[in-house]
Structure 1
Amino acid sequence: MTNAAPLALFLLAVLPVAASAAGPEPGAGGRPNVLFVLADDLGWRDLGCYGGPFETPALDRLAAQGVRFTQAYAPAPICSASRAAILTGRSPARLNFTFVTKPEPGRQSIPGMPLRTPLFTLHLPLEEVTTAEVLAAAGYDTAFFGKWHLNPHHKRYLGWHPEFGPPRQGFTTAVEDFGGHPYNSGRPAGPTPPGTFPDDSLTDRAVEFLTNRPADAAPFYLHVSHFYVHTPVDPRAEWAVEEARGEPGVGGNPRRARYAAFVQTLDHHVGRLLTALEASGHAENTLVIFFSDNGGHPEFARQAPLRGHKWTLYEGGIRVPLIVRGPGVPAGRTVDEPVIGTDLLPTLADYAGVDLADSPLLAGRPLDGVSVRGLFEADPAAIATARDTPRTTLWHFPYYHPETGVAFPTEPVGWNDPSAPFVGPHSAVRVGDRKAVYFWEDSSLALYDLAADPAERTDLAADDPALADRWKRRLFAALDAAGARRPVPADPTLVDPPNPSSP
């Protein structure tokens, strides 16, 4: 692919996109149902079908029955920002939602940090339009079970706020439930019997939703948002931990063994969902999408050969598994063209026959995602178009991580880091196969050719200031177009960080 694209391509990519002219007839049942399963902190290589060492039979089977994407991206390297973008089709930079939710509009306070970061975002504004609202307006039944994390914790950790939870964002059926994850203080204690996994009431509710639907019911959009495999990694399937200890990809590492059992627990409950879907009689006309909200935690997941991990904009922090099965989707195919979580809203609107250009819900509200239905269906023409007209994709993480307990200087981000190196505010932009990562503290930029160097080891701009400057301008133009908030030099006299003009 070309290593550059005019700004017009970026502007085209963020305008509202109409549904494809092919119409909403993917199968005998007309508009498809949608089962969207979102994992939490699942790394790019955690699944067997992605070359991972863990046993994931349900998801491996799903991949064999559909399409597996090798360059699928989360919109952000962290939970809340990514989930907000997935639901709205708008990038975290455009939403000004680039961190996790906080209980008050403060800022990070880290000793010695040289930059002043933007104010925290408290919740997803109700004026933002979600996939659930778009599909509900098109006649879909909408349901949500699991992790929301788009409002400050209400009454308990990750509790839904009554004014900003899923029922206020288009979900007709919505039940707050931690399932069998350790976040659930009421979950049973002790290990499960050999060969069994812990119960999960979150999955039970989703299974019930699928089981009780009559054949002639309206199409549904079911969003199952798992807490697995987020920390604390405390699996009750101790038998699975013991079995994993001797596996080559675990190497006797006790953390990795426990993580293997956690990944297998997630796979088991996804398998339960897929079994219930088959039993319901709706599987033939249901689009199943499996995705992760960001890259894996460095203490447990292994992203190599990709660099980085959750909290970073290197590939390991944002490249994630994406598996799609359903009407019109061929079996056993792999798609290598890039897609991102913001593409889900326009893509599902496309399947539902919704013309977003004429949608009153989205009037004057530009999207960053585009319909990738053709890529879901591995259509040769769509793949060729994606290759010939590379799009511009933007990521923006203008904060520090960790938030507390850090000191300067720190180690650079590497490959399979055993813990999370300190990361300062940074942004990234990809055009075609080229991706630039910009660091706000020293205004430095590194440029990588992902086709030849997916591990991001060779900086093409290291000895070429003019090339680095061109990519800085491209990045700043993308940030300007999105109206992104930026970090600025620390100054106690500043009340609010301004948006400096582009260089």
Structure 2
Amino acid sequence: MLSRRRFLASSAAASAGLAAPARPVNVIVIFCDDLGWGDLSCYGSPIATPNIDRLAKEGARFTHCLSANPVCSPSRAALLTGRYPTRVGVPRVLFPVDKTGLAEGEQTMANLLKAKGYQTMCVGKWHLGHLPPHLPTYRGFDHYYGIPYSNDMNPRWLMEDEKVLEEQTDLDTLQEKYTKRAVQFIESAKAAPFFLYMPHTYPHIPLGAGKAFRGKSKQGIYGDVLTELDWSVGQILTALQKHKLDGNTLVLFSSDNGPWFQGSPGMLRGRKGMTWEGGVRVPLLARLPGRVKPGLVCDSLVSTMDLLPTICALTGASLPGRPVDGVDISSLLSGKQRELER
């Protein structure tokens, strides 16, 4: 016959065994095009970006994050693989006449998370090849919605998966379309872990802003575009909160390289296309309640290539079976370490 103490102990153990397992971490990576290190108000810009600033307030802000390359395609290839662009077959900017793209043997964030049971989607500018072996749906993404190249390259197709929806999409409505599609994906994938990669087309020129945002800033069309970009981030955060997903969703926000003709590199020398720091230092914000220390400002040197190994560490996904140049920075996100040896 069980004693009362042993009965209570066994009951507690049984209850613990029936407890709901910890929810898997959803992942959202918002990656801007040509956004300068000094373009956000949380980095000292006069342009108001309250929703993006919220990520810094509720999470971590990095002051010394470097992209792997000062131009678009190589930087994106490095972000998605955690490897230097020269390793992965994208050493330069790709154009619509090119037949190449991200090397077929490379594993992207989407591949690694999909193998872990995640639903995956890319919404935005791809710029890693437009032919079937290189499109997002061949690189680990269940679905794709966006343009395959920069907004200054023709044809400016708007695609869904592998189908062309519009031959020349309207740049003024592009951010709104992206945002609507991203929110729809969050709603449809809320019951399972998901990965949303949102590489925005802007603030790459030519600039286009929705009617509701024209003239809203005091910094002209560039400020209007950033105001709409900030609105888009706010819509994503609202969708997470609506579906009670904000507590277990990692949101990462960064840029592919420094600003081009407009935009601010802060006090740094150089711009897009230059290896001066203004061409490669980019904003990096991260939020994950309970795992990322709120209000943290980290001065440690980090790279956008670090995001892949960090995401793998936080989700339990396996690293690719080849050398990774980025490092896991989750100890910086939590505040357990102030600096990493590289």
TM above 0.5: yes
Question: Match for residue 202 of structure 1?
Answer: 178
* 1:343 counterpart letter in structure 2: D
User: 322, 331, 340: which one pairs with 1:374?
Assistant: 331
Q: Secondary structure at the match of 2:215?
A: helix
Question: Match for residue 410 of structure 1?
Answer: none
Question: Match for residue 297 of structure 2?
Answer: 334
* 1:172 counterpart letter in structure 2: D
Q: How many residues align?
A: 307
* 1:277 counterpart letter in structure 2: L
5 Å-filtered alignment, 1:8-47, equals 29-47=22-40
Q: Does residue 87 of the first structure (1) align with residue 57 of the second (2)? A: no
CA deviation profile, 1:363-417 (whole Å, cap 9, x unmatched): 3x211111111112222xx325x1xx3x2xxxxxxxxxxxxxxxxxxxxxxxxxx
5 Å-filtered alignment, 1:189-338, equals 200-214=176-190, 217-237=191-211, 240-241=214-215, 243-244=217-218, 250=219, 257-297=220-260, 299-327=261-289, 328-338=291-301
C-alpha displacement of 1:82: 0.3
Distance 1:95 1:78 in 2: 15
5 Å-filtered alignment, 1:387-466, equals 389=341, 391=342
Identity %: 39
Distance 1:48 1:277 in 2: 23
Point out the structure with the larger helix share: 2
Question: Match for residue 18 of structure 1?
Answer: none
Question: Match for residue 3 of structure 2?
Answer: none
CA deviation profile, 1:194-215 (whole Å, cap 9, x unmatched): xxx986111111101112334x
* 2:132 counterpart letter in structure 1: P
Distance 2:43 2:71 in 1: 21
* 2:283 counterpart letter in structure 1: P
Distance 1:306 1:70 in 2: 12
Distance 1:104 1:239, change over 3 A: closer
Distance 1:28 1:64, change over 3 A: farther
Distance 2:201 2:216 in 1: 23
Question: Match for residue 146 of structure 1?
Answer: 124
CA deviation profile, 1:444-476 (whole Å, cap 9, x unmatched): xxxxxxxxxxxxxxxxxxxxxxxxxxxxxxxxx
Contact 2:66 2:280 in 1 (8 A): yes
CA deviation profile, 1:262-302 (whole Å, cap 9, x unmatched): 111111111111111111111100000011011111x2112
TM-score (norm 1): 0.57
Pair member with larger Rg? 1
Distance 2:236 2:204 in 1: 20
Distance 1:130 1:199, change over 3 A: closer
Distance 1:46 1:307 in 2: 15
Distance 1:128 1:89 in 2: 10
Distance 1:337 1:171, change over 3 A: same
User: 333, 348, 351: which one pairs with 2:314?
Assistant: 351
Gaps of 5+ in 2: 1-19, 159-167
Give me the CA root mean square deviation: 2.4
Distance 1:199 1:128, change over 3 A: closer
Contact 1:343 1:370 in 2 (8 A): yes
TM-score (norm 2): 0.83
C-alpha displacement of 1:259: 0.8
* 2:305 counterpart letter in structure 1: T
Contact 1:198 1:237 in 2 (8 A): no
Distance 2:25 2:217 in 1: 39
User: 69, 74, 77: which one pairs with 1:76?
Assistant: 69
Q: Secondary structure at the match of 1:200?
A: helix
C-alpha displacement of 1:165: 0.3
User: 34, 42, 49: which one pairs with 2:42?
Assistant: 49
